Amino acid sequence: MTATARDRLIVGLDIPTIGEAETIVKTLGDDVLFYKIGYQLVFAGGLEFARDLAKDGKKVFLDMKLLDIDNTVAKGVENIVKMGMSMLTLHAYPKAMRAAVEAARGSDLCLLGVTVLTSMDEQDVIDAGYEYDPHTLVLRRAEQARAAGMGGIVCSAEESSAVRKIVGPDMAIVTPGIRPAGSDRGDQKRVMTPADALAAGSSHLVVARPIVKAADPRAAARAILAEMTGAL
């Protein structure tokens, strides 16, 4: 079955409280199927909220960016599978990815390797001690994620086209840093519009502030969905 814009739009619940998250989900209603929950909400009761969303038929992308020794990663993934999550991030280190893939085997959990954060540019990568520029590092990690059997990659839409050539047609390419034309970039340094990101090869788009901080979140979501539909 061909994925629709509604299957591909992931609204980032990057907000401080469960109450505000519940309000956003209620406001967006049936227009939005998929939500991302990251650190901010996780540490405010977001894990139980994620379970509740899954029970209500929503898809949940748990953005935890796991990285630890193999056994710890594997045990964490085993419990996340039991939560009914749809996607989970971990940093794209080969040993961690292999451990996670084995732990998730047989489940519907899509494991995503985080390549280079979209808030990082070349100087940031150099400062972190890497010998590669962001683009080269993203492609190297994409190759490692494919080899490990991961379900997909998280990268900037700027790298989607090159990554798609590496990972093939079936792996997910999830891109944050999506900004509709004319919107504020915030702290993101590598951004792209929804239509351009899909054209570049992204399969799923993560949109947070342009929707959750909008005066009318549902209208903002519908506008983005319409742009995505036109690009599919």
- To the question of whether residue 70 is assigned a binding role by annotation, the answer is yes
- To the question of whether residue 208 is assigned a binding role by annotation, the answer is yes
Spell out where the chain has E strands.
Answer: 9-12, 34-37, 59-66, 87-91, 110-114, 152-154, 172-175, 204-207
- To the question of whether residue 31 is assigned a binding role by annotation, the answer is no
Of the candidates 31, 68, 124, 196, the residue annotated as catalytic is: 68
Q: Are 155 and 163 in contact (CB under 8 A)?
A: yes
Q: Identify the burial level of 123 via C-beta atoms within 10 angstroms of its C-beta, where 0-12 means exposed, 13-18 middle and 19 or more buried.
A: exposed
Q: Would you call 63 a catalytic residue per the annotation?
A: yes
- To the question of whether residue 4 is assigned a binding role by annotation, the answer is no
Give whole-number Cα distances, 32 to 58, 67, 79, in Å.
8, 30, 26
CB under 8 Å to 65, separation ≥6 — which residues?
89, 90, 91, 114
- To the question of whether residue 79 is assigned a binding role by annotation, the answer is no
- To the question of whether residue 108 is assigned a binding role by annotation, the answer is no
Q: Would you call 187 a catalytic residue per the annotation?
A: no
Of the candidates 31, 58, 65, 213, the residue annotated as catalytic is: 65
- To the question of whether residue 178 is assigned a binding role by annotation, the answer is no
Q: Is 111 helix (H, G, I), strand (E, B) or coil?
A: strand
Q: Could you tell me the two tokens for 54?
A: 């899954």
Place of tokens 């994409």: 142
3-class SS letters over 3-15: CCHHHHEEEECCC
- To the question of whether residue 127 is assigned a binding role by annotation, the answer is no
- To the question of whether residue 15 is assigned a binding role by annotation, the answer is no
Q: Are 186 and 212 in contact (CB under 8 A)?
A: no
Q: Would you call 65 a catalytic residue per the annotation?
A: yes
- To the question of whether residue 71 is assigned a binding role by annotation, the answer is yes
- To the question of whether residue 63 is assigned a binding role by annotation, the answer is yes
Q: Is 170 helix (H, G, I), strand (E, B) or coil?
A: coil
Residues serving a catalytic function are 63, 65, 68
Q: Residue positions in the annotated binding site for substrate?
A: 14, 36, 63-72, 118, 179, 188, 208-209
**Residues marked as binding?**
14, 36, 63-72, 118, 179, 188, 208-209
